[in-house]
Amino acid sequence: MSGKFSEKDLPLTEAVFYIMLALRHPNHGYGIIQEVGELTGQRVILGAGTLYGAIQTLEKKGLISIYSEDAGSRKKKEYLITDMGREVFYAERERIAELAANAELME
């Protein structure tokens, strides 16, 4: 993966947006599910399949990486957003801000 993200990485799904946000600090799967639920008032509830499918894709793209792995546990891993992941996240945040600003035209 190059050091620059592709425009194909955008837009992010809502679930992926919140997963990346939850990985602004090291976090494991259950922690991500809990944090996303808290951030959204339980409006977004991540299923294990959705979460781990997204983690696999984000890791392949170089947008997140494994931060630590507990060999004594059943493959308990903590993940962290990468610098390129932050670039993608910030680009998506700008895109969403533009949408919100343009929505104000309806007022």
> Per the domain annotation, does 91 fall within a domain?
yes
Residue 3 falls inside a structural domain:
no
Asked if the structure places residue 46 within a domain, the reply is yes
Flag whether 31 is in a domain. Answer: yes
Angle CA(41)–CA(67)–CA(62) in degrees, nearest 5? 85
The answer to whether residue 74 sits within a structural domain is yes
Tell whether 6 is covered by a domain: no
Q: How far apart are CA 31 and CA 41, in angstroms?
A: 15
Better pLDDT: 107 or 52: 52
The CATH number of the domain holding residue 88 is 1.10.10.10
Q: How many domains in the chain?
A: 1
Cis peptide before 26 (omega within 30 of 0): no
> How far, rounded to the nearest angstrom, does the alpha carbon of residue 29 sit from its chain's CA centroid?
12
Residue 5: inside a domain: no
Query: Average pLDDT of the chain?
Result: 93
Give the pLDDT of residue 76: 85
Which residue's entry shows tokens 């390129």?
84
Q: What is the pLDDT of residues 29-74, one digit of tens each?
A: 999 999 999 999 999 999 999 999 999 999 999 999 999 988 776 6
Task: Give pLDDT, residue 69.
Answer: 86
In this prediction the pTM is 0.90
Domain, as residue range, for 94:
12-106
